[in-house]
Amino acid sequence: MKTIKLILLVYLFLFAEISFSQTKKDSKKTDKSTHFIQVTRDKMQAFQQSFNKSWSKTFTDFSKSEISLYGAINFSKQRINNQLISTPFNYNLVNEKSFKPGFVAGARIDGLYKKKYNYGFQMSLSMVNAGNYYINKARLEPFLGDFTQYKFDSQFATFNLSALYKKPIFFRTSKYKLYAVAGPGLDIRVTAFSNDQHVKNTGSRLFANGHLGIEFNDNGYYLLFLHYKHGFNVFHSPAPVQLSSFELGIAVTTKDLF
Confidence of residue 142 (pLDDT cuts 50, 70, 90): low
pLDDT-based confidence at 222, cuts 50/70/90? confident
SS3 of residue 208 by DSSP: strand
Inter-residue contact 202 to 235 (CB < 8 Å): no
94 and 32 both lie in a single domain: no
pLDDT of residue 235: 86
- Asked which of 20-29, 130-139, 195-204 is least confident by mean pLDDT, the reply is 20-29
Give the CATH number, domain containing residue 94: 2.40.160.20
Q: Is 91 in the same domain as 148?
A: yes
Same domain, 158 and 172: yes
Chosen domain end from 58, 74, 91: 58
45/102 same-domain check: no
Residue 254 has pLDDT above 70, yes or no: yes
- Asked whether residue 70 falls in the same domain as residue 4, the answer is no
> Of 35, 58, 81, at which residue does a domain stop?
58
Say what the pLDDT of residue 186 is: 94
Residue with the larger pLDDT of the pair 17 and 248: 248
The chain-wide mean pLDDT, for the chain, equals 78
pLDDT value at residue 37: 58
Among residues 244, 225, 212, 241, the alpha carbon closest in space to that of 108 is found at: 225
Inform me whether the pLDDT recorded for 70 exceeds 90: yes
Across the chain, where does the E strand assignment appear? Answer: 62-80, 91-92, 100-113, 117-134, 138-140, 144-148, 155-171, 176-189, 206-218, 223-233, 241-253
Would you call 30 exposed, middle or buried from its count of C-beta atoms within 10 A (0-12, 13-18, 19+)?
exposed
Which candidate, 73, 65, 164, places its Cα nearest to that of 123? 164
Structure confidence at residue 251 (pLDDT): 93
Maximum C-alpha span of the chain: 97
Say what the pLDDT of residue 20 is: 43
Q: Residues 52, 68: one domain? A: no
Q: Are residues 171 and 230 in the same domain?
A: yes
List alpha helices for the chain, DSSP H. Answer: 2-58, 195-198, 254-257
Residue 178 lies in domain: 60-257
Q: Is the pLDDT of residue 112 over 70?
A: yes
Asked if residue 65 and residue 53 are part of one domain, the reply reads: no
**pLDDT of amino acid 250:** 93
Cβ–Cβ under 8 Å, residues 81 and 239: yes
Task: Give yes or no: residues 135 and 231 share one domain.
Answer: yes
pTM, whole model, 2 decimals? 0.74
For residue 250, the SS3 value is strand
Q: What pLDDT does residue 71 have? A: 94
Exposure on the CB side of residue 141, measured as CA atoms within 13 A: 1
Strands 176-189 and 206-218: antiparallel
Number of domains in the chain: 2
pLDDT digits (tens, 9 = 90+) for 8-45: 444 444 444 434 445 444 554 455 556 555 666 666 66
Domain boundary (58, 89, 105) is at 58
pLDDT in tens, 143-194: 566 777 778 888 999 999 999 999 988 766 667 889 999 999 999 999 988 8
In this structure, are 93 and 186 located in the same domain? yes
Same-domain status, 166 and 252 = yes
The reply to whether 69 and 85 lie within a common domain is yes
